[in-house]
Structure 1
């Protein structure tokens, strides 16, 4: 079947202000989100035969992050919706004999395999969103809250995009599967406006979920590879820091480069090693 470009909806968002528990916060730097929705596949997977098959009304969205630990750069978060038959527990092999058959936790895969999977996940996911949460926002609200915010925004933007192209007259159920031990605080009022009642949304935290569920694993690939791309871009700009090798993590080589060349704008100033390095400069 030919690829119909007009049915691929590109999604781009730039968030400069955010409502967190009723308080509007001007972000220190914009959060950028990007992704796409395959409208044709959405209808084929989750609309057709819905009356005959009630499971067609359940959409499982996997969410994962990459880059919580580094001293440098953004934390990246992704949300992914796979074709219905490909969604499920990895151990039950729903991806067997598919182009994503090697998909699992991105940390368990070589960089070469992640790079192979990245365009395939983008191609075959029904929908996906990737958020880039810059260092300035991490410093502003802390790394945990920045990660939770990224998970919230990815989920809400993907849900908003999906509901615009779904027949919401049918009862739809959404399962949001978060890698980790806690779920983000989603804006329930906003979701109700989209036609998603609280009873129709089940947010689940999955410890080590990227090795357990295909949709979380897909999100982990998107988050990890997109973050690595930003690290390679920084490496090209600042080759003396060796960023391509350490990806911003606090290795000995990274710390020595900071001592020799100073702190970059992209370093996370709220992280203790960077804070100490800055104190040493004064």
Structure 2
């Protein structure tokens, strides 16, 4: 997929606000809205993941990588991203599917300098077939805990991307009469040791069959799979951007340097200037200061 090709087939952006969430049949009003944004390049999706020839009916795997940034800080949102790379660029990093591509330096965002991450961020946005970034605010982290907030972000990113993709592909497991039509199955690769529970009933309504989704959890997956590495860049840089914005509003906290992590400077700033609305009140160091 060349630069010219990517520009010619411009992606369609989308923006979604989630205020209530259905968890196993029960609606929960979130303490603060979750914001999801991203884009989908429909023409590239159809070109790479639809089967037009009846002679070639082998299943195609659409790979979605999912990662998060910001589980440990005392301040701000946890950001989650999901990304679909071009099919030829998806795979194990060690097999070098990104060699001689604009994303050739892509690996786990934590192994890259901030300068390299900032270079990769717009490139991932440009060349990804589709991506979603979720901003799960501190109030939601305090409401349901950081693990569940991260799982929620992963679930919402995955479901939204699947819903955006669904109208353009037949996503099933090729049972029955599907031998006469194009079909695609989905691998969703999550960084970490667990997968979120997807809303299978809602996905089924939009044509994404449960049997066609293969969810896999990969410990340190951002250093193994290109799609997870791409998601790690989107999550990390998008979170850093929110931290820099917060720093301009509250320069006395030194947020641009510590990014919300519990450094000595950060703890001293809290003692001197107080707790911000964006601080995570359920986290022990902040909770302790509130009690004193």
Same fold flag (TM > 0.5): yes
Which of 28, 47, 52 is matched with 2:31 structurally? 28
User: Is the contact between residue 170 and residue 183 of structure 2 (CA under 8 Å) also seen in structure 1?
Assistant: no
Q: Distance in 2 between matches of 1:55 and 1:129?
A: 28
Give deviations 1:26-51, integer Å, cap 9, x for gaps: 00000000000011111121125565
Within-5 A mapping of 1:1-282: 1=4, 3-4=7-8, 7-49=10-52, 51=54, 53=56, 57-167=60-170, 170-280=182-292
Partner SS, residue 189 of structure 2:
strand
Task: Extract unaligned runs of 5+ from structure 2.
Answer: 172-180
CA–CA distance in structure 2, aligned partners of residues 199 and 141 of structure 1: 29
Distance 1:219 1:236 in 2: 26
SS of the residue corresponding to residue 78 of structure 1 reads: strand
- C-alpha separation in 1, matches of 2:53 and 2:19: 38
Q: 1:15: how far off? A: 0.2
Instruction: Rate the CA distance shift 1:224–1:58 in 2: closer, same or farther, 3 A.
Output: same
Structure 1 residues 134 and 121: alpha-carbon distance in aligned structure 2, compared to 1, 3 A threshold: same
Go from structure 1 to structure 2 and tell me whether the alpha carbon gap of 1:151 and 1:208 turns closer, same or farther (over 3 Å shift): same
Question: How far off its partner does 1:166 sit?
Answer: 2.2
Root-mean-square deviation (CA), in Å?
A: 1.4
Q: Is the 8 A contact 2:59 2:185 kept in 1?
A: no
For the Cα contact (< 8 Å) 1:209–1:216, is it kept in 2?
yes
Q: Which sections of structure 1, spanning at least 5 residues, go unmatched?
A: none
| CA distance, structure 1, for counterparts of residue 167 and residue 282 of structure 2 | 39
CA deviations on 1:59-107 (whole Å, 9 max, x unpaired) are 0000000000000000000000000000000000000000000000000
Number of residues of Structure 1 aligned to a counterpart in Structure 2: 279
> Do 1:50 and 1:56's aligned partners in 2 also have CA atoms closer than 8 Å?
no
1:252–1:126: structure 2 CA closer, same or farther, 3 Å change rule?
A: same
Instruction: Say whether the 8 Å CA contact 2:51–2:183 is kept in structure 1.
Output: no
Distance in 2, Cα, partners of 1:78 & 1:54: 31
SS at match of 1:137: helix
